[in-house]
Amino acid sequence: MITELGHFALILAFLVACAQAVIPLIGAHKRWPGWMAFAEPAATIQFLLTAASFAALTWAFVTSDFSLRLVTLNSHTDKPMLYKITGVWGNHEGSMLLWVLIVTLFGGAVAWFGANLPPSLKARVLSVQAMIGAAFFAFILLTSNPFLRMGTPPFNGQDLNPLLQDPGLAFHPPFLYLGYVGLSMTFSFAVAALIEGRVDAAWGRWVRPYTLAAWIFLTIGIGLGSWWAYYELGWGGFWFWDPVENASFMPWLIAAALLHSAIVVEKRESLKSWTILLAIIAFGFSMIGAFITRSGVLTSVHAFATDPERGVFLLGITAAFMMGALTLFAARANVMQARGVFSMVSRESVLVLNNILLAVACFVVFIGTMWPLIAEMAFDRKLSVGAPFFNAAFTPFMVALGLVLPVGAMLAWKRATVGRIVRQLIPAFALAVAIGALAWAMQSGRSALGPMGLFLGAWLVAGSAVDIWARTGRGTGRLARLTRLPRADWGKAVAHGGLGVTMAGVAAMMAWEAEDIRVLQVGQDFEIAGYGLRLDEVHQEQGPNYVATKATFTLSQNGREIAEMQPEKRVYPVAQMPTTEAALDNAFLRDIYVVIGDPQEGGGWAVRSYYKPLANWIWGGSILMALGGFLSLSDRRYRVAAGARKLPQGVPAE
């Protein structure tokens, strides 16, 4: 009964979305207040109905209702409760229901917290958001219904993919979807502004919180996914340039560009057309990500589904929204005339350069991701594009971005004096050069990657610190003024510093990691990067729904034992699939990473071990970037209408 109610709620939510897509739009065109006001309760009802449908599906998983086809294919009675719950979105149908739930959540957020929006713009935003929701409701109901029943329910299910039976599934997809779908809100604001013919400073202020929220959630989701792959897959890597990884990275790059571009619209009323275009393209890349993960056109370990019919449906949705929005963009070009003018040396110019670097980097990733498909369709050739291409083509743009960020953050609007900024940044630059030179002198090889990464990381962190200190002015009382700086200023500094920390971690791991693969007998030891590892024992353990081969290693340094490590190799009898559980010993400057493999014919066990310098800096930097975003989002200036109040005298604008 609960399942049928969930299905019925999903159908009702679709009908409400259809009504919300039409009635407020007509009301805004005709200036009928009652029709425009319909959008707010409709958005709330749509969210509540979708939440009820999602709750019904969750209940079916929790109670192991194997009369539901989706539960049979993705659950098992012996599975721990955490994975019964996360299994709701650990599949195509359930993940799409989560997707549309978040679409309605963002629509509800505008209805609940958008009191400062003009009624006509608010009605149009909610109408466009409802169109997106209606399209995905139709996709779910017609091609991906999670509430299909089994003719003859089995006694037990087929279990969830063992790779997904990890706490990472509880956090990675929801955060990633909050980012993906959050960009639908910026798309709705862009299309509503084009329909209304209003793109000004106020619009820039209104769209920034939603862009920032989407970027924060994407940052968290990508960071969690990278960490999950690092410790779960046993490959010892944090990023593999997999098509689905790239599908989440491309919207992140465009969202970062959009976030900076919207600042120029708000502060200077420039880059209007570019900002609107970025808002459209950002959501387009989110849709492309959904297409890649569910169509089967590209091979990926992350793919949810490989159904070409679903892929065609998603491609149709993407084409309809993108073509419609871009046509409207072309028709409304006259309403996006820039007002502010600026010199070549100004913060606006650096933000334009920032946008170019991020957009081109995204384009490089897109070409590398889609080229195998293009080559097969156009030239009938099967090609693969791997890490060497992406590392060579993508890295220069990130190096250039890291070099300009500290300077651009301190330049004045409209016209700036470079000399004063350079003098302030000399200590930060000198520190960064010293750290890079020290890394060059200490490394055993002569690769420039590691020293350059540490130089960029130090430059971004130190440059952010100088920027914050410079905003306190001159004279006495600077420490007191430091605590009174707007949160957005602190957020920008923390986020830029976090990018520097991540850059340093990535470069150090790629340049200086060490790997050892060998067959080891119980009692034998070996050394990797100055650390000793001894295999003490290997035994079998019975888990809740798996059998594990668990090894115990003793980690030592200079003859002193510092940790016990227990990697596992699990076999899930129902799914007949093995998984690897790596053992990690984390420290501030390195990780020691151990994986136990299969027993060998001649005796002993296959063992793979890694030394990973600055590994945790990668995810620590992601945390700092997200924290910086949250600090900016908590700034009161994001919660009031543009121009509603003036900043206190003497407090610099962002």
The residue with greater pLDDT, 164 or 304, is: 164
Radius of gyration of the chain (CA): 26
CA dist 399 and 49 (Å) reads 47
According to the model, what pLDDT value does residue 21 have? 96
According to the model, what pLDDT value does residue 130 have? 97
Average pLDDT for 405-433: 89
Using a pLDDT cut of 70, give the percent of the chain over it: 95
Give 297's pLDDT tier (boundaries 50, 70, 90): low
Region for 68 from its dihedrals, namely left if φ exceeds 0, alpha if ψ lies in -120 to 50, beta otherwise: beta
Residue 303 has pLDDT above 60, yes or no: no
Q: If residue 211 lies in a helix (H) or strand (E), which one and from where to where? A: helix 201-232
End-to-end CA distance of the chain: 54
CA dist 314 and 140 (Å) reads 11
Say how far residue 532 (Cα) sits from the centre of its chain: 37
Residue-wise pLDDT for 52-99, tens only, equals: 999 999 999 999 999 999 999 999 998 899 999 999 998 989 999 999
Give 344's pLDDT tier (boundaries 50, 70, 90): confident
Q: If residue 416 lies in a helix (H) or strand (E), which one and from where to where? A: none
According to the model, what pLDDT value does residue 300 have? 53
Q: Which residues make Cβ contacts (< 8 Å) with residue 152, sequence separation at least 6?
A: none
What sections of 296-346 are H helices per DSSP? 308-331
CA dist 323 and 347 (Å) reads 33
Per domain, the residue ranges of the chain are 2-389, 514-615
Residue 339 has pLDDT above 60, yes or no: yes
According to the model, what pLDDT value does residue 299 have? 55
Residue 464 · residue 496 · CB < 8 Å: yes
Least confident of 221-225, 275-279, 301-305, 436-440: 301-305
Query: Which of 312-321, 338-347, 571-580 holds the top average pLDDT?
Result: 312-321
Cβ count near 331 (within 10 Å): 10
Q: Sheet of 590-599: strands edge to edge? A: 514-520, 605-613, 590-599, 583-586
Phi, psi of 515 (to 5 degrees): -130, 140
Q: If residue 624 lies in a helix (H) or strand (E), which one and from where to where? A: helix 615-633
Residue 398 has pLDDT above 80, yes or no: yes
Q: What predicted TM-score, i.e. pTM, was given to this entire model?
A: 0.93
Residue-wise pLDDT for 609-638, tens only, equals: 999 999 999 999 999 999 999 999 988 766
- Helix/strand/coil for 345: coil
DSSP state of 485: S
Residue 652 has pLDDT above 90, yes or no: no
According to the model, what pLDDT value does residue 589 have? 94
Give 304's pLDDT tier (boundaries 50, 70, 90): low
Residue-wise pLDDT for 442-486, tens only, equals: 887 678 899 999 999 999 999 999 999 988 887 778 888 888 888
Residue 80 · residue 159 · CB < 8 Å: no
Q: If residue 427 lies in a helix (H) or strand (E), which one and from where to where? A: helix 418-442
Average confidence score pLDDT of the chain: 89
According to the model, what pLDDT value does residue 381 have? 80
Tokens standing for residue 565? 């490590």
